[in-house]
Amino acid sequence: MRESSVVVRPEAKDSGWYSAASRLQAAGLHEAITLFEQAAEVVPIPRSPRPIVIVDYGAGTGHNSVLPICAAISVLRKRTRPEHSVLVTHTDVPENDFTALFRTLSEDPDSYLKRDPASFGSAVGRSYYSQILPSNSVNLAWSSWALHWLSRVPMPVGDHLLAAYSGDAAVRTAYAKQAAHDWHEFVAFRGRELSPGGRLVVMAMGVDGDGELGFQPLVTALVDTLADLVAAGVLTDEERQAMSIPIVGRSAKDFESPFAPSGTFEKLSIARMELFEAEDRFWKQYRSDGKARVLGAQWAAFTRSALFPTLSWALDPNREQPVSVFFDELQKGIAARIEADPVQIRIPLAQLVIEKRAD
């Protein structure tokens, strides 16, 4: 299963959209990066030559994390000498495109490797639902846009792509149980890996005030377009039925569960937690320029990079049409639907700071 999302994408420097700030805004990362900087100010750090260890859990291509990690390193640099090594480790499942990740680290203008000569990057290609780094070795940890992916599909959803929108109570229960188990495991293993006093900042999908996952108009556009594509013969009914997106949003109570009732778990406690709604940057732009076509195109492009790869797992490997045709048609349909009925997308997110007790 996936342990990362493609959310922050590289934009050409001359595209008119590019800036470090826009990359963060796009992904609701502004607040989380501030929390990460604050953590970098206070975590105990080893004395040189022992490297300061930063871990990025669920890194994907690295585009979601290079800026936050740069920001943390800048803060750490005020606390230590320029030559004190910082070792950054990015984790993801073995199937992740690590060549893309290493290219991001060496080529992205916002990469710490470009900015800090005593920083070093590495990767671990193993699921974070086990201990994958030495005990007590991680000073500072980050995870963004990753933990809403479940470690496995507990059961087929049947009536929807997302369990959250299923009418079947058994489906919703199975997914909630899996989500609780995954979060518990993730926290437990980080409890071993974090060094005493170390901190972990998590940003993932939350739920809104009504307990909803958000993204509804986008999900509706996706589901409706898939139905069109079945009708048009681009997709078979079997392929459509096999599709699911094993994503969950978690509530404050869900995040607190492993720590209940004492507030501590594996020497860890939640130092801070916020559920909030990220700005729909595409909507903001639309409100200013009125270009519904651009709004549709932007959300459709986002959906393509964030979700289409997961949908493609359900495709018949012997299908005649290339996958790109399906992707292109699906993206076109989503863009057209959003253009026809422009609406703001609610993006409920959660951010947490988890702290390990100093010995």
CA gap 21, 288 in Å, rounded: 18
* Residues 212 and 348: beta-carbon distance below 8 Å: yes
Nearer to a copy of itself, 83 or 210 (CB): 83
From residue 271 to residue 310, what is the string marking binding to a copy of itself with x (rule CB under 8 A)?
----------------------------------------
**No. of H helices and E strands in the chain?**
12, 7
Nearer to a copy of itself, 125 or 156 (CB): 125
Query: Which residues lie closer than 8 Å to 344 by C-beta, 6 or more apart?
Result: 280, 283
Q: Which two tokens stand for residue 153?
A: 């599909």
With tokens 């951010």, the residue in question is 351
Nearer to a copy of itself, 101 or 207 (CB): 101
CA gap 251, 257 in Å, rounded: 10
CA gap 166, 174 in Å, rounded: 12
Query: Which residues lie closer than 8 Å to 173 by C-beta, 6 or more apart?
Result: none
Q: Does 58 bind a copy of itself (CB under 8 A)?
A: no
Nearer to a copy of itself, 61 or 298 (CB): 61
Nearer to a copy of itself, 155 or 188 (CB): 188
Nearer to a copy of itself, 124 or 306 (CB): 124
Q: Does 172 bind a copy of itself (CB under 8 A)?
A: no
| Choices 132-140, 164-172, 200-208, 318-326 (CB under 8 A): range interacting with a copy of itself | 132-140
Query: Which residues lie closer than 8 Å to 187 by C-beta, 6 or more apart?
Result: 258, 259, 265, 266, 268, 354
Min dist CB 122 to a copy of itself, Å, is 5
With tokens 């070792």, the residue in question is 87
For a copy of itself, the binding residue among 125, 156, 197, 217 (CB under 8 A) is: 125
CB atoms near residue 256 (< 10 Å)? 17
Q: Strand, coil or helix: what is 343?
A: coil
Element spanning 106, H or E: helix 98-107
* Residues 276 and 31: beta-carbon distance below 8 Å: yes
Restricting to residues 312-341, name those near a copy of itself by CB under 8 A: none
CA gap 6, 319 in Å, rounded: 26
Q: Which two tokens stand for residue 101?
A: 């990740």
Min dist CB 95 to a copy of itself, Å, is 6
**What is the total count of residues that contact a copy of itself (CB under 8 A)?**
33
Q: Does 122 bind a copy of itself (CB under 8 A)?
A: yes
Min dist CB 105 to a copy of itself, Å, is 8
Nearer to a copy of itself, 124 or 334 (CB): 124
Restricting to residues 91-120, name those near a copy of itself by CB under 8 A: 94-96, 98-99, 101-103, 105-106, 118, 120
Q: Strand, coil or helix: what is 65?
A: coil
Amino acid identity at 23: R
Min dist CB 102 to a copy of itself, Å, is 3
For a copy of itself, the binding residue among 30, 44, 79, 135 (CB under 8 A) is: 135
Restricting to residues 74-93, name those near a copy of itself by CB under 8 A: 83, 85-87, 89
| Choices 12-20, 130-138, 237-245, 283-291 (CB under 8 A): range interacting with a copy of itself | 130-138
CA gap 277, 348 in Å, rounded: 4
Site residues for a copy of itself per CB under 8 A: 49-51, 83, 85-87, 89, 94-96, 98-99, 101-103, 105-106, 118, 120-126, 132-137, 195
